[in-house]
Structure 1
Amino acid sequence: MPSRRRTLLKVIILGDSGVGKTSLMNQYVNKKFTNQYKATIGADFLTKEVQFEDRLFTLQIWDTAGQERFQSLGVAFYRGADCCVLVYDVNSAKSFDNLNNWREEFLIQASPSDPENFPFVVIGNKIDVDGGNSRVVSEKKARAWCGSKGNISYFETSAKDGTNVEEAFQCIAKNALKSGEEEEIYLPDTIDVASNSQPRSSGCEC
């Protein structure tokens, strides 16, 4: 049986507070959703092993706080990222308009070696809300924006019922794999990422 080498792939999830970043991560990793809202403090991450062609990869998914006061913590979180996920709420025009700010912030903080070709994935979340009647950002508009930024992959999801979450993260993993370092990386169980980071309960950002 061929040996299986584990590679760490770092994924960053960005977007305004409340768009569902934590919920997406928890739905993908733990297949769980809660209506309880609790803002992420600083950053948190979960890991999930994925397998491609008999090779194991560990996705390290970082969920960063959407509040502006935490953006100054960005450099430590963003550096070494293999893929960046930009999330907005299809029911919030402001969260969509801010995608460009988050993208630019990431490129500044992470300083990828090839910014023009760095892999991004855009997720329009909360398509389940009010049966879609509260929606204000059309799929056409979102896809047009993604096209203008180098044909970024785009998914519409519901972190609540799981719609397209698995598909989106499969794309994220493949994009991360393309740019990821082909080496084994040791990761301790816990990381003190910031002095004001605090342990988080099971509450999540919905």
Structure 2
Amino acid sequence: MPSRRRTLLKVIILGDSGVGKTSLMNQYVNKKFSNQYKATIGADFLTKEVQFEDRLFTLQIWDTAGQERFQSLGVAFYRGADCCVLVYDVNSMKSFDNLNNWREEFLIQANPSDAENFPFVVLGNKIDVDGGNSRVVSEKKARAWCASKGNIPYFETSAKEGVNVEEAFQVIAKNALKSGEEEEIYLPDTIDVGSSSQPRSGGCEC
């Protein structure tokens, strides 16, 4: 039987303030929704264990503040991410238009080794509001944007009603896994990433 190694996969959720990032995370991890809106200060994260092919993975899902005054915190949170989730509110054109800024900001701050193929997933949230009558961003428009950015997977979600949340995070986890596996092959499990065959001096190479 294959060994059940635990692997940590880091997922970052980005998007404008109030689009439902925290609610999506809570719905996925805790199966809960709250109508009480509380802005995230800085960043927060939840973890959830997922299993693929007899391997256990811990998804570490980081929810970052949408307010611009917290964006300077970005670098530390973005580094080492295995997947980035871009969230907008289907009832807010501004939140959709800002997806491009969030995506570019992430690529600059996280500086992934293969920016062209880094996995993103886009979620159009709040499809439940007003029975869908308030929406201003069509699914066609959102899918066209995702296609233009290298066929980013797209889901329409309702954090409140749990619509497509589980399905979206399954794809997020799979994409994070693909991204994270490349690192696993090359990096040993220790902090020392130098060649193990080379004797190392005791000094810090910070």
Judged with a 3 Å threshold, the aligned counterparts in structure 2 of structure 1 residues 151 and 187 are, in CA distance, closer, same or farther, namely: closer
Query: Match for residue 117 of structure 2?
Result: 117
Aligned residues: 206
Name the CA distance, whole Å, in 1 between partners of 2:177 and 2:96: 27
TM-score (norm 1): 0.88
Q: 1:3, CA displacement in angstroms?
A: 2.2
Judged with a 3 Å threshold, the aligned counterparts in structure 2 of structure 1 residues 71 and 190 are, in CA distance, closer, same or farther, namely: farther
Contact persistence 1:23–1:160 (CA under 8 A): yes
Judged with a 3 Å threshold, the aligned counterparts in structure 2 of structure 1 residues 182 and 116 are, in CA distance, closer, same or farther, namely: closer
Name the CA distance, whole Å, in 2 between partners of 1:79 and 1:193: 17
Judged with a 3 Å threshold, the aligned counterparts in structure 2 of structure 1 residues 99 and 3 are, in CA distance, closer, same or farther, namely: same
RMSD over aligned Cα atoms: 9.8
Q: 1:171, CA displacement in angstroms?
A: 0.3
Q: 1:183, CA displacement in angstroms?
A: 7.6
Larger Rg computed on CA atoms? 2
Residue deviations 1:71-99, cap 9 Å, x none? 01100000000000000000000000000
Secondary structure of 2:147's counterpart equals helix
Q: 1:29, CA displacement in angstroms?
A: 0.1
Contact persistence 1:41–1:197 (CA under 8 A): no
Could you say which structure has the greater relative contact order, defined with CA pairs below 8 angstroms and 6 or more residues apart?
Answer: 1
Q: List alignment gaps of at least 5 residues for structure 1.
A: none
Contact persistence 1:37–1:205 (CA under 8 A): no
Q: 1:65, CA displacement in angstroms?
A: 0.1
Secondary structure of 1:49's counterpart equals strand
Stretch of structure 1 that moved more, 187-196 or 167-176: 187-196
Judged with a 3 Å threshold, the aligned counterparts in structure 2 of structure 1 residues 101 and 182 are, in CA distance, closer, same or farther, namely: closer
Q: 1:197, CA displacement in angstroms?
A: 42
Secondary structure of 1:185's counterpart equals helix
Contact persistence 2:27–2:165 (CA under 8 A): yes
Residue deviations 1:83-119, cap 9 Å, x none? 0000000000000000000000000000000000000
Name the CA distance, whole Å, in 2 between partners of 1:89 and 1:149: 19
Whether 1:69 and 2:74 are equivalent positions in the alignment is no
Contact persistence 2:187–2:193 (CA under 8 A): no
Name the CA distance, whole Å, in 1 between partners of 2:203 and 2:154: 27
Secondary structure of 2:123's counterpart equals strand
Judged with a 3 Å threshold, the aligned counterparts in structure 2 of structure 1 residues 194 and 172 are, in CA distance, closer, same or farther, namely: farther
Q: List alignment gaps of at least 5 residues for structure 2.
A: none
Q: 1:203, CA displacement in angstroms?
A: 46
Q: 1:70, CA displacement in angstroms?
A: 0.4
Contact persistence 1:38–1:203 (CA under 8 A): no
Q: 1:205, CA displacement in angstroms?
A: 41
Q: 1:2, CA displacement in angstroms?
A: 3.4
Identity between Structure 1 and Structure 2 (%): 94
Which runs of 4 or more aligned residues in structure 1 lie more than 3 Å from their structure 2 counterparts after TM superposition? 181-206
